[in-house]
Structure 1
Amino acid sequence: MKLHIIELKKMSDFLRIRPVWDRMLEQAVTRNVALTYEWAYASWKRYAGFFDVRVATLWEADTLVSAIPFVAKPARGEGCRGTAVQVLTEIVPYSTVSEDAPVLECFFAYLRRKYADLLKVSFQEVDASCYGFAALTDWAQSEGMPFFIYKSHESPYVEIRTDFSSYYLTRKKKIKNALRNKPDKLQALSPFRIVSYAKESDIRRGFQQLLEIDCESWKYEERSDMASREGQHIFYETLAEEGAKRGMAELWLLVNEREPVAFEYNLLFEGKVMAIKWGYKAKYAPFSPGVILRLETTKQFFERGFRMIDLWGSKDQFKTIWSDDHFDRYAVHLYANSAQGLSLKRQDEAARNSAAAPSAVELC
C-alpha cells in the first residue's frame, strides 16, 4: 500500500474534511470516541493559538486511510534544543482503515521532513490492549529509536453483563456506606432533581451550569478544573456542542431550588459510555452529591443497554465505589537516536522516577 500525506494546517481545511473523516472511522480497525472528528476538532480549537496544531492525513489515492492530529512545541529539557510532538488521540494511538497500511513509516517520515530537529514524539493514555500499541514499540525498535513507556494510571470501568439489580447487589455495601442518609438530608436542605442535557439546542445551557459547579469545586483550588488550564474549557465545551450534533454527548446535573450542585459529563459511542468529567460544589461535600448523581446515571445507562462505562482518568476512592476493575493506560515516548534525544529520554525517565511528570504531560 502506497500512502501520501496531505497536511491540514488551516481550520478551513479541517472543517472540509469532516465527511471523509466520518467514512474513515466507519471502516477503522478500531473505533473509539477519541478517534472521532468531534474529538479532533475540539482538540484543534483547544490548542490553536497556544501551539502549532496540525493534522497529518494519510491517503491511498483518494481514500483517507488515517488521520493523526498533533501539536508541536520546543522540547523541554536541559541542553536539548529541538521539537517535541504530541499526538492528540487517546486510548488508541492512531486510526487506520487497514492493518497493512504503513501508517507509522509514513507519519514519521513526514515529521522528520517537517521538523529537522525532531527530538521526541509522544502518545498519551494509550491502552496496551488496543490496536497500534505494540506496533509503536516494534517499529521504534526496527528503526533504532529509543523509547520510554510507563503506566500513567489505572482507569476504572464498569462492565455491564447483567441488569442493574444484579450489578447493584455486587456494589450495594460500598454505595450504601457512601450514601447513608445523605440523599434525605440534601432533600431536606433544598429539594433536588436530576436533569440531563443532550439536545444540540440545550447543551450550551447545561455546560454553563457545569462550569459554575467546576469553579466552585475542590478542583478549582487544585487548579485542575476546566477553566484553570490553557484552553481546556474550550476543548470540553466544543466537544459537548459537536458531540450533541452526533448524539454522543450528555451532560447530567443534580440541581436544587437554588443552584446546580453536581455534574457528570459523558460521551456515548459504540454502546459504551466514557465518563470524562464529574464534580460537585465543595460546600455540598457532606451530602455526597456526586454519588447520588452517579447512582442514577449508572442505572439509566444499564436500562438503556450500554455495555460499559469507562470512568476515565485515574483510580480514586469515588470510582472504586462503582468498580474494582480497571484499564491500564500508558504513555509512550519515542526519541531521536541522537545525543540530544538520548539526553531528553534520560531526563524524562528521571523526572518520572522522582514522581514528576515528563514534559509531554504538560500539554494535557
Structure 2
Amino acid sequence: MDIEPVTSLNAFEQLASSWNHLWAASSKADILSSHEWFASWLSLFAAKPHLLVLVARKDNQVSAILPLMKCWEKTHGIWIHVVRSVTNCHSHGFDLVAMETDPALFSEMIKKTFSLAHKNLIILDYISEHSLLYQMIVKGGHFPYLHHVRLHSENCQVRLQGSFDAYYNQRASKFRKNVRAAERKALERGPLQLVRVNRLEELKQITKICYDLETTGWKGKDKEALVQVRQAHDFYFRLAQRWCDEKRLDVFLLKSKEDWLAFYYCLSSAGTYRAVRIGINDAFRNLGPGMLLTKYMLEKLFAEKSGKVWDFCGGSARWKSDWCDCREKFYRVFIF
C-alpha cells in the first residue's frame, strides 16, 4: 500500500478520473465527496490553496482519498497553522473517499499527514455520525492518535417513508393548527402553487427570483445572500451546471398569484435531499411562506418515494424541529 500526497492544483485535476471511479463505486457516492465538488470549492474559496490531499493506492489502484489542506486557523482568538479538511460553511459533510472502512489504512494516512506537514494538529470538520471517518475515529475505539470530538451541529431531518398523512399526523397538534391557520390565510389571497425546477435552462431563469427572495430577509440585511457573496453565488451556480440535468439538483418554489413566496435550493444525493439554500419573501412573512412551502414540498416527495431523507441542513432551529422526525449529528474532530 502506497500513500502519496497531492500538493498542486494541476496534480489534483489529474486525479479526477481515478477519484471519480472510486467515488462512483463507493456505497454512497455522495456529491459532497465527488471530485467536482472539491474542484469547484477550491476554485472559489481557496485562491492559492496549500493542498495536502492524501491518496492511497493498492496494486496501482486508488483505494482511498483524504482531501486536506494546510492553512491558518483561529482558535480561542489565536491564529495557528494547521492541517484541516477542505471545508467551510458551504460544506454539508466531509468524509474519507473510500469503498469501506479500513482503520489501519486511515491511521497510516494520518501518520503520513503529520510527517509531511510538520504540524501538530489536524482538524476535520462536518463529520457526520454516519460517516466512515466517525466510525474509524470514534466508534472503532482503536484509533491510535489523541483526538477530541466536539459537536458542530445537529441537522433536523424527515424520513420520507410511508405516507405523508401518517407522518404529518405525528407532528404536534399546536403546530398542525398553526399550519392550517397559515394555509387558510394564504388561500384567502388566492391559490397556492408549488413550482419545481430541475433543468438547467429553467434554473437560469429562476435563480434571480431566488436571489431576490434571499435579499428581502435577514440574509440580505446581514449581507449573506448569494447575490451579495460572489464566491458563494458562483459556487452554487457551478453545482447547478454540473448536477442539474442529472436530476441531482432541484429548486422548489411557492407561488401566490404573481408573487413568489419562498424557495428551497436542494441537492439530491445518496438518498438524501439537502436544503442547502433557503429563502422567503419577507413581505409575506405573515402568511407563513416557509411553513407552507415545506408542507407542499414534503407532500410531493412522500408521494414520489424517490428519496429516503429530507435534510433541512444548517442546525436545528425551532421551525425545523417542528417538522423533524429524526436528526443527524455533525462533529468537529481535532487529531493531535
Same fold (TM > 0.5): yes
Query: Gapped runs of 5+ residues in structure 2?
Result: none
Which residue of 109, 116, 134 corresponds with 1:107?
109
> Structure 1 pair 334/126, CA: closer, same or farther in 2 (3 Å)?
same
Alignment partners' CA distance in 2, 1:171 and 1:113: 52
Alignment partners' CA distance in 1, 2:227 and 2:141: 38
SS at match of 1:132: helix
User: 1:41 deviation in Å?
Assistant: 3.0
Alignment partners' CA distance in 2, 1:48 and 1:193: 40
Alignment partners' CA distance in 2, 1:79 and 1:173: 48
Question: 1:176-226 CA deviation, whole Å, 9 max, x = no partner?
Answer: 333334334435546653212111222233333222211221223345444
The one-letter code sitting in structure 2 at the alignment partner of 1:161 is Q
* TM-score between the two structures when normalised by the length of structure 2: 0.83
- Please give the residue correspondences for 1:1-364 in structure 2 after superposition, counting only pairs within 5 Å: 2-5=1-4, 7=6, 9-10=8-9, 14-15=12-13, 17-28=15-26, 30-49=28-47, 51-52=49-50, 55-77=53-75, 81-88=80-87, 90-100=92-102, 102-116=104-118, 118-136=119-137, 142-143=144-145, 145=146, 147-171=147-171, 173-189=173-189, 192-227=192-227, 231-305=231-305, 306-335=307-336
SS at match of 2:127: strand
* 1:178–1:288 CA contact under 8 A, matched in 2: no
User: 1:252 deviation in Å?
Assistant: 1.1
User: 1:151 deviation in Å?
Assistant: 1.3
Query: Gapped runs of 5+ residues in structure 1?
Result: 336-364
* TM-score between the two structures when normalised by the length of structure 1: 0.78
* 1:9–1:55 CA contact under 8 A, matched in 2: no
Identity of aligned residues (%): 14
Alignment partners' CA distance in 2, 1:197 and 1:151: 35
Alignment partners' CA distance in 2, 1:270 and 1:30: 5
Question: 1:85-113 CA deviation, whole Å, 9 max, x = no partner?
Answer: 23437545312124337543453344335
> Structure 1 pair 107/97, CA: closer, same or farther in 2 (3 Å)?
same
CA RMSD across the alignment: 3.1
Give the number of aligned pairs: 330
Question: 1:121-140 CA deviation, whole Å, 9 max, x = no partner?
Answer: 22222222332214235799
Alignment partners' CA distance in 1, 2:7 and 2:256: 46
* 1:164–1:303 CA contact under 8 A, matched in 2: yes
> Structure 1 pair 275/82, CA: closer, same or farther in 2 (3 Å)?
closer
Alignment partners' CA distance in 1, 2:295 and 2:156: 16
* 1:83–1:120 CA contact under 8 A, matched in 2: yes
Alignment partners' CA distance in 2, 1:155 and 1:270: 16
The one-letter code sitting in structure 1 at the alignment partner of 2:130 is S
Question: 1:281-310 CA deviation, whole Å, 9 max, x = no partner?
Answer: 222211111111111111111111122212
> Structure 1 pair 14/197, CA: closer, same or farther in 2 (3 Å)?
farther
* 1:51–1:71 CA contact under 8 A, matched in 2: yes
SS at match of 2:98: coil
